[in-house]
Amino acid sequence: MAVLVNELLVTSDSPFFEKLSEAERQKFFEEILNIFAERYGKQNIAYAMVHVDEKNTTYARWHCANA
């Protein structure tokens, strides 16, 4: 039996994130999670996390894996 997992990445450039407050950035990624949960089913999301670049804190990306 094979297990298939897709990792999805959502990001933008630094100027996009520079315009957002911390609360707006969180809402942005929460909305992405809601969209993916609707599309693939919440029960199929293995993980979802936001990674903020250590050197450039205005750059962020969102990783999600669904099975």
Tell me what pLDDT residue 58 has.
65
Q: What is the mean pLDDT of residues 36-60?
A: 82
User: Given pLDDT bands bounded at 50, 70 and 90, which one contains residue 57?
Assistant: low
CA–CA separation, 17 vs 25, rounded Å? 7
Phi-psi bin for 7: left (phi > 0), alpha (psi -120 to 50), beta? beta
Q: Is the pLDDT of residue 23 over 90?
A: yes
Question: How much is the mean pLDDT over the chain?
Answer: 83
